[in-house]
């Protein structure tokens, strides 16, 4: 099943036309024939009826959905697979209202599914970037001119600060919500994600002025109307921010500070898999399922 190609929605529905086939595919992706207990990885596992298994050491029962985004939901896997396909393949994302219409659920259920899917996008990749790197900070939020006079504030205090890093050779991107764009906030992100002695391209912001200590630092002065000098530019990361902002403005219209990280993870995943075939992207996502959240956590967490 894992080697069968499905690069359109029609092919997806033809391949995964019942719950049993969906379960078999998940088991192949998650375990590859070697079933592992989510409660004790060293335990022997017994196969039971109804696609269930028993962990010998703990005595607990489980199935392939245990401790994944599918855990404790009554939504059929076929609907989950369709939602994942749509969320990963649509270039700018999809709203919960539209997804609800497409898969036949309530808007509340579709929103919950999308938030669980976005949580899986954000499983941390600790691989450090190297070579030539572009970094840039940005702000997300409404324009002050669109606010009521009594709600307007000067500067960017009410906007959400975000920070992006892109590896120029591979076009791999990471993006995060940050509390502010001070050097003390951004430097730990840079040190964690970029190998020392790499070449870092930035704009003229003062928060980057001490990067020369551990990196080869080049910058362009946007305030003077200069945006590139040969290979010295931040056009790649700024192009990524442009895609994210167009997507959020066009599809979601607005995101809260609380959930902005999930949306950044969503756009980063699609950007990093833009050269994959649709089926490859779908299966790649299914390899990162062990990340779940509850509705209560989404609302009150």
- 22 and 114, same domain (yes or no): yes
pTM of the predicted protein model: 0.83
Residues 252, 140 share a domain: yes
Q: Is residue 225 part of a domain?
A: yes
Q: What is the pLDDT of residues 12-54, one digit of tens each?
A: 999 999 999 999 999 999 998 899 999 999 999 999 998 999 9
Both 205 and 295 in one domain: the answer is: no
Do 212 and 283 sit in the same domain of this protein?
no
Structure confidence at residue 86 (pLDDT)? 93
With a CB cutoff of 8 Å and minimum separation 6, the contacts of 297 are none
Mean pLDDT (whole number) for 282-299: 77
224 inside domain? yes
**Residue 100 CB neighbours (<10 A):** 19
Q: Structurally, how many domains does the chain consist of? A: 2
In the predicted model, what is the mean pLDDT of the chain? 87
Domain limits for position 79: 9-124+276-300
Confirm whether 263 is domain-assigned: no
Note the pLDDT of residue 133.
96
Q: Is the pLDDT of residue 222 over 90?
A: no
Both 58 and 161 in one domain: the answer is: no
Closest CA to 88 of 113, 111, 110, 121: 121
Q: Give residue-wise pLDDT tens across range 47-99.
A: 999 899 999 999 999 999 999 989 888 899 999 999 999 999 888 889 999 99
- Pairing assessment for the beta strands 132-140 and 61-62 based on DSSP bridges: unpaired
Q: Looking at the structure, do residues 96 and 206 belong to the same domain, yes or no? A: no
In a domain, 293, yes or no: yes
Q: Is residue 264 part of a domain?
A: no
Identify whether 52 is part of a domain: yes
Sign, CA torsion 115/137/268/238: positive
Digit-coded pLDDT (tens) for 108-150: 999 999 988 988 886 667 789 999 999 999 988 756 555 555 5
Please indicate whether residue 21 or residue 221 has the higher confidence score (pLDDT).
21
Is the same domain home to 247 and 146? yes
| Same domain assignment for residues 16 and 63 | yes
- Please indicate, yes or no, if residue 91 is contained in any of the structural domains: yes
Mean pLDDT in residue range 146-164: 65
pLDDT at 100: 96
pLDDT for position 156: 47
For residues 139 and 112, state if they share a domain.
Answer: no
152 and 107 belong to one structural domain: no
Same domain, yes or no, for 26 and 117? yes
Q: Are residues 16 and 109 in the same domain?
A: yes
Is 271 within a domain? no
Q: What are the pLDDT digits (tens) for 245-262?
A: 998 888 888 888 888 888
Residue 294 has pLDDT above 80, yes or no: no
Element at 165 (helix H, strand E):
strand 160-167
Whether residue 157 is predicted with pLDDT greater than 70 in this model: the reply is: no
CATH number of the structural domain spanning residue 205: 3.30.420.10
Phi, psi of 122 (to 5 degrees): -95, 10
């Amino acid at each position: 099943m894992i080697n069968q190609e499905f690069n359109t929605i029609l092919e997806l529905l033809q391949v995964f036309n019942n719950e049993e086939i969906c379960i078999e595919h998940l088991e192949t992706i998650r375990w590859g024939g070697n079933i592992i207990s989510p409660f004790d990885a060293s335990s022997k596992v017994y196969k039971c009826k109804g696609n269930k298994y028993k962990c010998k050491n703990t005595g607990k029962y489980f199935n392939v959905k245990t401790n994944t985004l599918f855990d404790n939901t009554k939504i059929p896997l076929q609907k989950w697979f369709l939602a994942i396909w749509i969320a990963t393949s649509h270039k700018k994302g999809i709203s919960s209202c539209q997804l609800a219409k497409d898969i036949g659920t309530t808007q509340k259920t579709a929103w919950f599914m999308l938030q669980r899917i976005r949580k899986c996008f954000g499983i941390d990749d600790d691989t450090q970037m190297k070579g030539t790197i572009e970094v840039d900070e940005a702000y997300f939020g409404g324009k002050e001119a669109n606010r009521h006079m009594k709600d307007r504030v000067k500067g960017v205090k009410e906007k959400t600060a975000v920070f992006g890093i892109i590896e120029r050779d591979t076009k791999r991107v990471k993006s995060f919500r940050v509390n502010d764009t001070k050097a003390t906030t951004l430097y730990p992100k840079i040190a964690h994600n970029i190998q020392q002695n790499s070449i870092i391209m930035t704009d003229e912001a003062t928060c980057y002025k001490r990067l020369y200590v551990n990196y080869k630092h080049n910058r362009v002065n946007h305030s003077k109307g200069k945006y590139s000098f040969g290979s010295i530019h931040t056009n790649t990361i700024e192009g990524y921010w442009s895609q994210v902002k167009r997507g959020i403005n066009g599809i979601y219209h607005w995101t809260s500070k609380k959930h902005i990280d999930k949306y950044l993870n969503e756009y980063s995943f699609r950007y990093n898999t833009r050269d994959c075939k649709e089926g490859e992207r779908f299966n790649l996502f299914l390899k990162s399922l062990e990340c779940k959240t509850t509705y209560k956590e989404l609302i009150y967490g």
